[in-house]
A and B are shown apart, each in its own frame.
Chain A
Amino acid sequence: MKNIIIIYLAFLVSNSLVAQDKFITQTGHTKFFSSAPLEDIEAHNNKVQSVIDFAKQEVVVSMDMQAFEFDKSLMREHFNENYVESEKYPKAIFKGTFSNGSPIDPTKDGAYTVTVEGTMTIHGVTQPVTTEGTIVINGAKVNAQTKFMIKVADHDIDIPKIVFHNIAEEVEVTVDLKYDPLNS
């Protein structure tokens, strides 16, 4: 009985004593680009937060909507106030799992192409997303990049016909995350 308990305890401890397979960033970069007949609109967010876990091949990304910066402050205001309603829905959240056939070992340097499957929650509406991405491991640094399109209507974001700062029905989202090891 005692032995069994010791084995169990060892098992419990082993759960928390995993290798360095979690990485974190608070300063990830996301760009969204909308090309509409009247004008192109581009916005940058340099405060994207993300954790990547190689043990489970999982990633979560959290974006503060108010941190998107535009050329014109009025665009930023309309983006927050009228399109994504950031007061009600302050964050966009992506949760996903990635795979490239075999699990990626974060101790081995190299560039890996991965397929990321998950859900994107914007404006309080969650939609499935599948995209191709790259993960580059270089020593203790991990860099993840991906690009995908989002249909604005899928997230119940309304585009009126008569507004001046019009956004396209599909916007291109480019994500570039540079991670550091998470010391838990």
Chain B
Amino acid sequence: MKIRTLFFFSVAVLLSVGAFAQDDLMNLLEANTEESIHFTEATFKGSRLINGHTVETRKQGELEFLISHRFGRLNSGAYEFFGLDAANVRLGLEYGVADFLTLGVGRNSFEKTYDGFAKIKWLRQSKGKRVMPVSVVTFSSAAINTLTESSPGEFPDLTARMFYTQQLLIARKFGSALSLQIMPTLVHRNRIQEREGENDIYALGVGGRIKLTQRVSLNGEYYYRLNAEEYAEDDLNQLFNSLAIGFDIETGGHVFQLHLTNSRAMIEKGFIAETNGNFFAGDIHFGFNVSRVF
């Protein structure tokens, strides 16, 4: 009995000596280490999901040059080369004033519109010492339509040409392959054309991306207008919710985004509130964004 006890005791003692291996040193290191905050990076590859913005902001001191194209409609036929004969271009410059603040300006050939915006990052998704489930960014933009009047009195003064957009962008990266974003939006238009609905359009956007490979992702984006005007089926003026699908292809300093969308405009007021293409009737615009960060 005593011998047995002694035997087990001996084994226990010997084990206690042998247990000090490198794993033990590793445990010791971990025990003496404070947990740090791990911020989620690269929720999306670019500052645009497709038409609209993502929660990605530029880092301080970085300048991004963005060229966006939307061609004509695919269903416009061979004579129009399936829309490629008609192109709208938006040129944009976006600058990271601070890591949490990006300012941008752009000019859209569609309706000859100039726009300026501010993106502010309020919350960053993180894990570790501080857990934050989502990234939250506010997007505020003002735009001015500089078209000459098609009829006298169309734009009585400058304010009649102004549009404003306020968005809340809430995104979460679910592991490296999947990111989702919701975008509650308010578009305010000082002056609207007949049959364009309300001055204030409320919309809820949803979107996301699935990474197909390390450098290619499939994106989708949909903006549902909460107070959309009712139209008859055959109404030529009817407006639609903006829908877009596309691919992001990343090659280091560039991100190429190729997409199909029923929206022609490349700023929020245009694609959220005034999309007149029916995606399912073939009113689809092929388009791309090319971004280069300096």
A residues bordering B, Cβ < 8 Å? 1, 4-5, 8, 11-12, 15, 22, 24, 26, 47, 49-51, 53, 56, 58-60, 62, 64, 66-67, 72-74, 76-78, 80-82, 85, 87-88, 90, 93, 95-97, 158, 160, 162-166, 182, 184
When the two chains form the complex, which single residue of A66, A72, A88, A163 contacts B38, counting CB atoms closer than 8 Å? A66
What are 26 inter-chain pairs, A to B, with CB distance below 8 A?
Answer: A8-B9, A8-B10, A8-B13, A11-B13, A12-B13, A26-B33, A50-B29, A51-B26, A56-B20, A60-B26, A60-B29, A62-B26, A62-B33, A64-B36, A66-B38, A72-B62, A77-B42, A80-B42, A81-B176, A81-B214, A85-B176, A87-B176, A160-B215, A162-B251, A164-B252, A165-B253
Known: A15-B16, A15-B17, A158-B214. Contact between A78 and B28, CB under 8 A? no
| Closest-CB distance, B46 to chain A (whole angstroms) | 11
Q: Which residues on A sit within 8 Å (CB–CB) of B25?
A: 51, 53, 56, 58-60, 95
CB–CB A4/B41 < 8 A: no
A74 to B250, CA, bound (A): 12
Q: Which residues on A sit within 8 Å (CB–CB) of B148?
A: none
Q: Which residues on A sit within 8 Å (CB–CB) of B151?
A: none
Known: A82-B215, A88-B176, A182-B28. Contact between A74 and B253, CB under 8 A? yes
| Closest-CB distance, B170 to chain A (whole angstroms) | 20
Known: A15-B16, A81-B176, A82-B214. Contact between A51 and B28, CB under 8 A? yes
User: Which residue, of B25, B42, B59, has the highest number of chain A Cβ atoms within 10 A?
Assistant: B25
A68 to B28, CA, bound (A): 23
B175 contacts partner chain A, Cβ-Cβ < 8 Å: yes
Considering the complex, give the chain B residue whose CB is closest to the CB of A67: B36
A49 to B29, CA, bound (A): 7
| Closest-CB distance, A147 to chain B (whole angstroms) | 22
The contact string, 1 if C-beta is below 8 Å from chain A, for chain B 1-41, is 01000100110010011001010011011101110101111
A-B pair count, CB < 8 Å, reads: 97
Known: A66-B38, A166-B252. Contact between A24 and B32, CB under 8 A? yes
Known: A11-B13, A81-B42. Contact between A51 and B29, CB under 8 A? yes
B192 contacts partner chain A, Cβ-Cβ < 8 Å: no
Known: A60-B29, A73-B62. Contact between A1 and B253, CB under 8 A? no
A64 to B34, CA, bound (A): 12
A166 to B32, CA, bound (A): 36
Closest 10 CB pairs of A and B: A164-B252, A73-B59, A165-B252, A164-B253, A81-B42, A163-B252, A95-B22, A51-B29, A60-B25, A87-B176
A74 to B22, CA, bound (A): 36
Q: Which residues on A sit within 8 Å (CB–CB) of B28?
A: 22, 51, 182, 184
